Amino acid sequence: MFDFATIPWLGVLICMIVAIVSGSLWFGPKTFFPIWWAGISKTGAQIPGGGQNMGMVFGLTFVACFVQAVMMSVVLHAIYPQGYTWIQGAQAGMVFWLAFVMPTYLVNKLFAAHPFYVWGIEIGNHLVNFVLFGVILSFFA
C-alpha cells in the first residue's frame, strides 16, 4: 500500500497553496475568467459556484489539491525511491496531466458542448499546477 512516512507534508502544503494561488491568478478578472465564464454560457449576473456556499467550494477545492499533491508524491516516490530532480518532477507532472487530466476534461467538455477554448483554459491551469507540484515535491525528495 502507501508508505505515508515518505510523504513530504510541508511540500504537499506548499503545493496546495500554490494551486490556490495559481488558480486565482489563472481565473482572475483580468486573465481567463471573463472568457471562460462566457464560454460556459454564464452571464455577469450569475454567481460563480452557482450561489453555493463558497466556503464549501473553496474547502473542497483545497481537499482536491491535497489529494492530487499526496498522490503525486506517492507515485513519484514509487518511481524514484532514491529521490528525483526538479526536471524529473516537472516531467512527471506533465505526464500525469497528459495521461489523466487532459483526456478527462476533453470528454467532459465534449459532452457539455462547451467550446474547445474552455477546455484549453481549464486544462492549462491544471498543467501549470501539476508541473509545479512535481517541481515543488522534488525539493523534498
Q: 1-15, 40-54, 68-82, 109-123: lowest mean pLDDT where?
A: 40-54
Q: Any idea where the domains of the chain sit in the sequence?
A: 4-138
pLDDT of 109 above 70: yes
In the chain, pLDDT over 90 holds for what percent of residues? 83
Query: What pLDDT is recorded for position 5?
Result: 86
The backbone torsions φ and ψ at residue 42, rounded to the nearest 5 degrees and listed phi first, read -105, 155
**pLDDT confidence band for 130 (50 / 70 / 90):** very high
What is the average pLDDT score of the chain? 93
Burial 55-70 (b: 16+ CB within 10 A, else e): eeeeeeeeeebeebbb
**pLDDT confidence band for 12 (50 / 70 / 90):** very high
Q: What is the pLDDT of residues 36-93, one digit of tens each?
A: 999 999 887 777 766 668 888 889 999 999 999 999 999 999 999 999 999 999 999 9
